[in-house]
Amino acid sequence: MTKVGIIGVGNMGEALLAGLLRDGTLTSDVVFAQRSDARAEYITQKYGILRKPLAEVAGCEVVIVAVKPKDISSICEEIKSDLRSDGVIVSVAAGKTIQGIQEIVGADKAVIRVMPNTPSFIGKGAAGLSQGEGVTAAQLSFVKKIFEASGIVVEVPESLQAAITATSGSGPAYFFAFVEAMIDGAKKLGLDENVATELVIQTIVGAAGMLASSDKSATELRENVTSPNGTTFAALTKFYEMGLGQMVESAMEASAKRSQELA
């Protein structure tokens, strides 16, 4: 089996690691590098994966670089002499382009860029994948399998990575912010925090389940629960009056713009 090395096991690196193991990858076929001793000890104790020197991890057939965007250039500089000629680098950092990585590690190196999201932790992730020149069919297939172990994967041209970041990469945070607002609204209407939280979470989970399992669009499902001049109509009217659509569009544009700036 292809040996996988993960550089950086923060939230996203750990999520990918957990997905690999859920999918049946042996602990002996995965290694990681991590600067924080405490974090490394936590990962080893929880998953039985060995921490290795950065150079050794960089020598794996598949090297997943899961560090913060600000650190990816320095990490690539540090590992470039240890990379295998037949290996593939997988970056999950927002913004940094395939060309930008190849300018550091060498134009002959195979690079795949992926934007996953945090629900990968529970196998419900959504990732957008773009491949650089020189990536083999076998490499692409294996890397897709890694991310499919944590959710769905769509292939997109790299020019659309900023849109992926704004949609699914940052998307969970939009959702969590909306849930926070609903809980606050319920509390102001008189519900205590525990009851409000329980009701809001179950409502969101139920609505998402309906959307995922139904052959109806979000528009149709919304219309089905919205009686003319009823309670839902009153709430949605207020959303639209306050510019919900424009607000979301502007927020996503800001996320995409920031992703491009990070390049």
Helices 231-241 and 244-261, interaxial angle, to 10°? 50
Could you give the 3-state DSSP secondary structure of residue 69?
A: helix
- Per-residue confidence (pLDDT) for residue 119, from 0 to 100: 93
Task: Give the chain's radius of gyration (CA, Å).
Answer: 21
**Single-letter amino acid code for the residue at 55:** A
Above 90 in pLDDT, residue 94?
no
Above 80 in pLDDT, residue 2?
no
The answer to whether 144 and 129 have CB atoms below 8 angstroms apart is: yes
Q: How many CB atoms lie within 10 A of CB 55?
A: 13
Helix, strand, coil abundance in the chain, percent, nearest 5: 60, 15, 25
Percent of the chain beyond pLDDT 90? 89
Three state DSSP letters for 157-171: CHHHHHHHHHHHHCH
Residue 63 has φ and ψ, to the nearest 5°, of -115, 110
Q: What is the mean pLDDT of the chain?
A: 94
Domains and CATH numbers, the chain: 4-158 (3.40.50.720), 171-261 (1.10.3730.10)
pLDDT, tens digit (0-9, with 9 covering 90-100), for 106-135 = 999 999 999 999 999 899 999 999 999 999
pTM of the predicted model as reported, rounded to 2 decimal places: 0.89
